[in-house]
Structure 1
Amino acid sequence: MLDPRHLTQRVATHGPYIRVVTAEVKGSAPREVGAAMLVWLDGQEGTIGGGALEYEATQAARAMLNSDQRSKVTRHPLGPNLGQCCGGAVTLVSERIDAHFLSTLPNDLPFARRVEGSADQPLGMTRDLAMARGQGQPILARLEDGWWIEPVHQSQRALWIWGAGHVGRAIVDFLAPLPQFALTWVDTAESRFPDVIPDAVDHIPATDPARLAGHAPKDAEHLILTYSHALDLALCDALLTRGFVSAGLIGSATKWTRFQKRLAAVGHQPDQILRITCPIGDPRLGKHPQAIAIGIAAKLLNEKAEHASRGTLTA
């Protein structure tokens, strides 16, 4: 899935690089169509899987960076020559991502581009683009007659994480690489955040986070896990007043019983208070920060899958 914002950020950080994406799969293969990695001269990000396949593609991408070639299509049987036993075959599209490429991105994404040969854009691809732009029909990634088209990442779930302690850091580590989440991370001071924060995460030091919560988007999801019970309570109060899609609070059953009484005392109705989930995560996994983060991430991803399967997902 093409993510223009992420591509732009990486050009700003690393300069030109090669994006390698799985365009076709036949038989058994390490990754699905659309799996991608970014390769620059002294590093890379993402994976197309396969060990030897990825190593070979990475070396070819760096060689491409040192050439004038802007795009190419390569086909790889996954057999003894690559030291793999998948038995299938993979076609890769490699494209140079730089200021020139970014300038070709139209406002009415998605878009198709020629990556191999000289054929005109296939009529079926032209039709699919028109349907996507005019009627919002989904685009399926495919390579056809040397032209490559894929979905464009646009919609994200706004997730606000309140607290940069051990659990907050573990959650961000798990969720930041996932393109479906737009993460906003809040704590009371810059010093409470780690030295390195993923580029995709907006972090906000706020002296009074509860005041900021009063301005959060009403379609956001929230995870409250600060260092202070008083701050947690203030955030619950502010978010119940503001409105939200979902909210989770870290804590024990005893903490939640106490919070329910205090939130009711300041005027919140019981049915609204119970929209907050406490405790969060999966207690069966234990209390280690990474275990809590795994439980939370699984719940968020399962919720999306369940809603999507019922056709009811709105955010």
Structure 2
Amino acid sequence: MHLAQFFAAHRNVIHVRLTEVRGSSPRDAGAEMFVAIDAAYETIGGGQLEYMAIDKARALLRNGSDTERMDVPLGPEIGQCCGGRVVLTLERMSETDRNQAVAADTRQRADLPSVFILGAGHVGRALAALFQHLPVRCILIDSRAEELSMCHADVEKRQSVMAEADIRHAPARSAFIVLTHDHALDFLLTSEALDRGDAAYVGLIGSATKRTKFARFHKDHSSRSGSAGLTCPIGASASRNKRPEVIAALVVAEVMTALTAPAHSFALAEN
């Protein structure tokens, strides 16, 4: 669900913002959530702090008040052990407030990093099922319409017979996970992703033997990049457990680690 959909379903909403943070807290200043009488969107960190904020927001909705300020110590008195202190601002939202929040949400979504899953088989669909819940733009690509139709995740599904073109036109710092139904196609697409030179992550499903074979292929077919930046096998810790969901969970951890790494770390890795 996007914020616009939340507002469409809930017209009377309190905007909860974490405006000050001193010491340790579950989220940094600027974290926000939107609270309706029977639903909430986003999070300020969970736990007792969030429970108190939601309870206060719903009290505002019931009694007709417009604003509230909460100064909360994150210690034993509220059952949390962060040790810091936070200030929360709660405000009833006007139509203008909602429009501005939707515009900000739209801009934020446009800036999300892109994750391209190249192959809509069992592991590809398991990956999509996890990435749909993360702050990324996930694109699942396959030439086979029937495989794409089996994916029910809330991600972009793209039928493409030339996935290499999708790779070439991807935004900078995208992540590419290659797991098609064809080893030759795997090699072609992985080589294309590495040749970009700006990918945050390039992963190829398969064994150490497959990696060795790919390295030879890439050396023979590309003069623009090496294969040192390739992750293969992907989700290496899943080597004893081949279930798609287990592999997907470990690969998602790899990709999100790469996407959230500082930009200078990526530059050093490329050099």
CA contact (8 A) 2:6 2:41 kept: no
- What letter matches 1:254 in structure 2? T
Alignment of 1:138-153 (within 5 A): none
Partner SS, residue 272 of structure 1? coil
* Corresponding residue of 2:118: 162
With over 3 angstroms needed to count, the CA separation of the structure-2 counterparts of 1:211 and 1:16, relative to structure 1, is farther
* Corresponding residue of 2:205: 250
RMSD: 4.0
TM-score normalised by the chain length of structure 2: 0.70
Give 1:193 deviation, angstroms.
Answer: 0.9
Alignment of 1:28-39 (within 5 A): 28-39=24-35
Mind listing any 5+ residue stretches in structure 1 that lack a counterpart? Answer: 110-151
Give 1:206 deviation, angstroms.
Answer: 0.2
CA contact (8 A) 1:30 1:48 kept: yes
Q: Tell me, yes or no, if structure 1 residue 221 matches structure 2 residue 175.
A: yes
With over 3 angstroms needed to count, the CA separation of the structure-2 counterparts of 1:69 and 1:289, relative to structure 1, is farther
Give 1:76 deviation, angstroms.
Answer: 2.5
TM-score normalised by the chain length of structure 1: 0.62
Match of 1:210 among 160, 163, 170: 163
Give 1:160 deviation, angstroms.
Answer: 1.4
Give 1:270 deviation, angstroms.
Answer: 5.4
With over 3 angstroms needed to count, the CA separation of the structure-2 counterparts of 1:274 and 1:160, relative to structure 1, is same
With over 3 angstroms needed to count, the CA separation of the structure-2 counterparts of 1:308 and 1:95, relative to structure 1, is farther
CA contact (8 A) 1:19 1:97 kept: yes
* Corresponding residue of 1:126: none
Q: How many residues align?
A: 257
45-54 or 246-255, larger mean C-alpha shift = 45-54
- Over the matched positions of the two proteins, sequence identity in percent amounts to 33
Match of 2:72 among 52, 55, 76: 76
Mind listing any 5+ residue stretches in structure 2 that lack a counterpart? Answer: none
Give 1:224 deviation, angstroms.
Answer: 1.2
- What letter matches 1:283 in structure 2? A
With over 3 angstroms needed to count, the CA separation of the structure-2 counterparts of 1:106 and 1:293, relative to structure 1, is closer
Give 1:80 deviation, angstroms.
Answer: 5.9
Alignment of 1:84-123 (within 5 A): 84=80, 88-96=84-92, 99-104=95-100
CA contact (8 A) 2:206 2:234 kept: no
CA-to-aligned-CA distance 1:26-82 (integer Å, 9 cap, x gap):
345444333333333433344334533322222222343456555432222345653
With over 3 angstroms needed to count, the CA separation of the structure-2 counterparts of 1:98 and 1:192, relative to structure 1, is farther
Q: Tell me, yes or no, if structure 1 residue 296 matches structure 2 residue 251.
A: yes
More helix by percentage: 2
CA-to-aligned-CA distance 1:72-96 (integer Å, 9 cap, x gap):
3222234565344555432112344
* Corresponding residue of 1:183: 138
CA contact (8 A) 2:114 2:175 kept: yes
Distance across 1 between alignment mates of 2:191 and 2:24 = 52
With over 3 angstroms needed to count, the CA separation of the structure-2 counterparts of 1:85 and 1:104, relative to structure 1, is closer
